A and B are shown apart, each in its own frame.
Chain A
Amino acid sequence: MAGLLDGFLELLDVLLRNRVRTVMTALSVAWGIFVLVVLLGLGRGLENNVRWMYRDDAVNSIWVYRGRRTIPYQGHPVGERLRYTNRDHELVEARVDGLEKISSRFYPPIPDSVRWQGKIVAADFRAVHPDHRYLENTLVETGRFLDEADLLEKRKVAVIGVQIVGTLFGDHPPIGEWIDIGGAMFKVVGTFRDVGGVNEESQIYLPITTAQASFAGADRVDQVMFTIDDAHMADAVAIEDEVREMLSRAHGVSPADRRAVRIRNNVEEFVRVQSIFDMLAAFVWLVGAGTVAAGIVGVSNILLVSVKERTQEIGLRKALGATPGSIVRMILAEALLLTGTAGYAGLIAGLLVVEGLRRWVPENDYIRDPDIELSTAVGALVLLVVAGCLGGLVPAWRAATLDPIVALREE
């Protein structure tokens, strides 16, 4: 066999001079990969949209609120609102399996405004634990969020939303400034953003211990919220029931009363949406796999036809001294070069379309940031090329072992 380059030139020559066959094969391969890439991109867009819809609060969180009794029990009348304390927080923290982050929230009973150097601005207050920022997806902009030391030492510090920063301080840097909250002075240690919007960014976070002590809260808690780890996502409903049962017993609530301990289970909802999405993803993969399978069959089929078409050529080449191995190599190398190049072109075209969708399709309720992992696309391409060529191996081998006399006589 002549040198590699020579073999390659011979191969290229054959491909270029048999245009129709070359173009047909190339088109079917390129189209398969193109469709696959676009499909996977759109599937990812759907997934991104689901994630975006749940971007504000942690998707793996369970929120426990104070509800009102609907059944009289142990001397407590209907309509009485539950009162949680730090003990309930500790109870949940100690007992829930798979608990990741936990924070309580106390709404201090103070006027909803904040003062600084004679200026007054409306604000809401949440007295929380440091892990609260994971539950609300709070993004620290400058300075820091609350930490354990703040709570231990009951420091008078505050982390304020960027909406308040603008209206209260203007261009003045807020960190280190002292602000008047409910008659007490708090030092600003950080500012934050929140994808939840203007309302979320008009909040002021205080250490829960400080707020309880400063504003006659004693050990009062208004809500307890926590996240659970991935391994326990599927147990979300069981965890919810366990927490309700636990707090009901602690507060003398009838086991049949499901409204007193009020629970919002984001996990359950997310798991439901996630399952819809998983089905969609499975569907996309199914269609994708079908496309690749069709591509493989297509490549093998075209190879088969091409070998049949070239029976005479192969017979002649054998008469002139081609070995069966060299015939198989010739056909497979042609197929590899052709499908590889065409698949690559389809891949690039698909990526361009996905990128185009990402940039130019206006915001909508279904698709957000379509995207594709390059490794997935390249993997599909390699699979198609290799499997297609393996499919072509049988006809190639048959052609190579064909009796040249018979092959030459074929018309």
Chain B
Amino acid sequence: MIRLVGIDKTYRVGAHPLHVLKGLHLTVPPGELLAIMGSSGSGKSTLLNILGILDGYDGGEYWLGDALVKDLSERKAADYRNRFLGFVFQSFHLLPFKTALENVALPLYYQGVSRKERLRRAAEHLDQVGLSDWSGHLPGELSGGQKQRVAIARALVTRPRVMLADEPTGALDSVTTQEIMDLLKRVNAEGMTIVVVTHESDIAEQCARTVFLKDGRFEGER
């Protein structure tokens, strides 16, 4: 589902170029639950941004399914993000003035789906994460775990090719963390390809495979 071929990325900050990613190769087959582990400064955020089509790269190729993600226009990048990817963030990023249901429906707005259909599909996905009873609540009225479940429903609502989760449990306590991991595993079991970026080994251990990133290179996997 994802194929990285010699991905290279250098930041030019001032006089000293910063070589962040040094020729990464990675293949993620469909339906895999992959963890990318690395300490801060390992290049893991940069890799996540490239995977999320939020940032470009200097060399190599990034294949997402049958689509080559390279030098895209802003419009094309927005379209790919919308149709191919689902994002789950550490700090949830729900719009505070929209209800849980409307938050889940938001990506469909950018696909031009009618309001009625949007809300119908959003309700379906909210039900899958067990939050049907909370659909009318604003994010401020939900617990951290509930917020992340809403965010997961939002990531799934467009039926993307890959779900990208950036420290999905970083803001949660241990009990809730396990709930979210169980939910991700269940979603994965239903066929969704998931890439989790984390620095916590007990999160990585629950994934089918883990690759370790260090100084811009993959150094071994589990």
Contact = CB atoms under 8 A, between A and B. Distances in A.
Interface in B9-60: 45, 49, 52, 54-55
B13 to A, nearest CB: 14
A13 B101 CA distance: 14
Most buried by B among A2, A10, A313, A321: A321
B87 interface: yes
B219 interface: no
A18 B74 CA distance: 28
Given A14-B97, A312-B93, A322 B115 contact: no
Nearest to B46: A405
Interface in B79-108: 79, 81-83, 87, 89, 93, 95, 97-98, 106-107
A68 B114 CA distance: 93
Given A9-B115, A405-B49, A325 B75 contact: yes
Given A6-B114, A14-B97, A326-B110, A319 B75 contact: no
B95 A313 contact: yes
B187 to A, nearest CB: 18
A373 B52 CA distance: 57
A321 B79 contact: yes
Given A2-B114, A321-B110, A322-B110, A405 B97 contact: no
A322 B78 contact: yes
A1 interface: yes
Interface residues of B, number: 28
Interface residues of A, number: 29
A247 B66 CA distance: 103
Contacts of B68: none
Contact of A17 (B97, B111, B115): B97
Contacts of A90: none
B30 to A, nearest CB: 22
A312 B87 CA distance: 14
Interface in A15-65: 17-18
A320 B87 contact: yes
A318 interface: yes
A322 B107 CA distance: 8
B74 A321 contact: no
A318 B115 contact: no
Contacts of B83: 321
Contacts of A10: 109
Closest 9 CB pairs of A and B: A321-B82, A17-B97, A321-B110, A323-B78, A320-B107, A316-B93, A2-B112, A323-B75, A405-B54
Interface of A: 1-3, 6, 9-10, 13-14, 17-18, 312-313, 315-326, 401, 403-405, 408
Interface of B: 45, 49, 52, 54-55, 74-75, 78-79, 81-83, 87, 89, 93, 95, 97-98, 106-107, 109-115, 154
5 contacts: A319-B54, A319-B93, A323-B78, A324-B75, A324-B78
